[in-house]
Structure 1
Amino acid sequence: MSHRLHAFEAIDNFRDYGDYATAAGRRIRPGRLLRSGHHARASDADLERLKGFGLGAVVDLRRPGERRDQPSRRHDGFDALVIEGGIDDGAEAPHITFLKTADLTPDSGRRFMTQTYRSLPFDAAHIDVFGRYFQALGQMGGDQDRPVLIHCAAGKDRTGFLAALTHHLLGVRHDDLIEDYLLTNTAVDLVGRAPAIARRLHEMTGRVASDDAVVAFLGVEAAYLDAAFAEVEARYGSLDAYLEQALGVDAALRARIEARLSA
């Protein structure tokens, strides 16, 4: 089990995505960049442990409807900046629609995930929250030099893309970036949990999914992230251009982020 993973009772996929070498010969500071699944089911012990991290900001990438259905639990004295999206189209989350209507096979799961990643970087709600996240990274320092935690529902897709984009900005090698992204599959132990998840899907939708289909849909594969990056490059020319033009990460902000997070 990776030293990056932090075990909680009811918060999935909690880990540190700092502490990687960068192309500039520096290293991302550990303990400043954290990621996880949602906190709606956090136990009291989980909340006490979260309190110990001294979070300065929490970036919730979920849709407003997701937040209403599963509101985050907070510990006493919680004072972190909360960054969340306000765009609510009232539509059902795409993954729920998929689970209710599509053939639940490994191939259909992979097709759905690949298409999801191709569109993910361009969703107006994502662009808004991603941009505010990078602004927060650049503004926090001095007495406010506290960790930032990003999460969505499972902490794997929206969170995974944003963590990978952060790694790119900071100059993390592509192989390390992919390794960190794929760590979700270890953190969540999908193979071991697939049968129970399949049963819950059947209870929720009345439809049967094989264990392999569950793993394909609820796990991550390098091809998914590659699809997102390729689409960004096709539309903007490069990830750096996307960061600047879509998310507002200009040279000055980039320098502040690098200064704060690199050692």
Structure 2
Amino acid sequence: MDDRVKPFEGVRNFRDFGGYEGADGARIKTGKLYRSGHFGEATDQDLTGIELLNIKVQADLRRPDERERHGDKWPVSGVQKLFSDHGRETEAPHVNFLKQVAVDAEASKGWMRNYYVEAPYRQSLVPTYTAWFEMLETLPTEDAALVNCAAGKDRTGILCALTHHVLGVSMDDIFVDYELTNTAARAEERLPEARDYFNSMLGKSYDGEIYKPFLGVEREFLEAAIASIEEKSGSLDTYLEEALAVGPSRRHAIRENLLD
């Protein structure tokens, strides 16, 4: 899928995460599953293009304070929005971390790894993750679904990886899609601008490497989430069934609905 990444101007990291080979050699239908960052900065041209995708389900993984701060210029009428009002913060957790007296690049990576360890069990995410799979089971043939958070890379990345696993995608392809964030979100290109923004806001003079984990992704982050799930629940399948209500019958129905 050479056109997997959609080059919208004000919506970062927007892409189709279908098309991969799933269970029994079948492929995930394209034009059915999308992922992205938030829509608060969407341009009119972006909204026109997104409206053509017939997205009727939006799983918005942002905290309530993020939804209020970013807004949501959602273009589709009749979209079913999935979200949680748990987890409100007065300031972004990673910003609080960066306000510490001294931070280095390894500490930033460690903070992000720890976030992934905890995320699959966060009360602010589990209900929306659960609702997402419930909607995929009965998503009409002509409709599409989208999952987003603020940047579309961490909370979204975990849910997309779980969705791929339910559909039978190989672990290799799960990581291929996960790491595509670095290209789709233009992480390296945006790093100098982000460094200057954060340093100005925080009164710091940090090197860009300290901010890199907050713009892009690294394989070890998703590996940390998977390891956490396997340690706490025993396996991805057990976690999906016990935490997100995706047992064998729902898994079968989702595959029937989304695999060609």
Letter in structure 1 aligned against 2:86: I
Aligned ranges 1:1-263 → 2 under 5 Å:
2-75=2-75, 78-101=77-100, 103-142=102-141, 145-263=142-260
Query: Cα distance, 1:82 vs. partner?
Result: 0.6
Within 2, Cα distance between the matches of 1:70 and 1:125?
18
Point out where structure 2 has 5 or more consecutive residues left out of the alignment: none
Structure 1 residues 183 and 103: CA distance shift in structure 2, 3 A:
farther
Task: Provide the rounded CA distance (Å) in 2 between the counterparts of 1:231 and 1:188.
Answer: 26
Match of 2:125, SS state, is: helix
Supply the AA of the counterpart residue of 1:6: K
Give the C-alpha shift of residue 88 in structure 1. 4.1
1:192 positional shift: 1.7
Q: Please tell me the root mean square deviation across aligned C-alpha atoms, in Å.
A: 1.5
| CA 251–124 in structure 1, closer or farther in 2 if over 3 Å, else same | same
Q: Deviations over 1:104-139 (max 9, x none)?
A: 422111101100000000101111110001001012
2-structure distance, mates of 1:161, 1:199: 29
In terms of mean alpha carbon deviation, does 53-62 or 102-111 score higher? 102-111
User: Structure 2 counterpart of 1:256, which letter?
Assistant: A
Q: Distance in 2 between matches of 1:198 and 1:98?
A: 15
Percent of matched pairs sharing the same residue: 38
Moved more, 104-113 or 83-92: 83-92
Moved more, 204-213 or 194-203: 204-213
Tell me if structure 1 keeps the 8 A contact 2:36–2:151: yes
Cα contact 1:102–1:108 (8 A) shared by 2: no
Q: Which amino acid is 1:231 matched to?
A: S
Q: Offset of 1:214 from its aligned partner?
A: 2.2
d(CA) in 2 for partners of 1:21 and 1:246? 26
State the SS of the aligned residue for 2:59. Answer: strand
Give the Cα separation in 2 of the matches to 1:221 and 1:103.
23
Moved more, 154-163 or 214-223: 214-223
| Structure 1 unmatched ranges of 5 or more | none
Q: Give the letter aligned to residue 19 of structure 2.
A: D
Deviations 1:75-112 (A, max 9, x none): 2x521111111214445332221222263422111101
Deviation string, structure 1 residues 170-228 (Cα, Å, up to 9, x no partner): 11011110010000111122222111111111222212221222223321111100110
* TM-score normalised by length of structure 1: 0.94
Assess if the C-alpha contact under 8 Å between 2:36 and 2:147 holds in 1.
yes
* Pair 89,6 (structure 1): closer, same or farther in 2 beyond 3 Å: closer
Letter in 2 for 1:183: L
Change (3 A) 1:90 1:193: closer
SS of match in other structure, 1:153? coil
Q: Quick one: which amino acid aligns to residue 28 of structure 1?
A: I
Paired residue type of 2:256: A
Deviation string, structure 1 residues 219-254 (Cα, Å, up to 9, x no partner): 111110011000100111100000000011122211
Distance 2:259 2:43 in 1: 33
TM-score, normalising length: structure 2: 0.95
* CA distance in 1: counterparts of 2:21 and 2:113, whole angstroms: 29
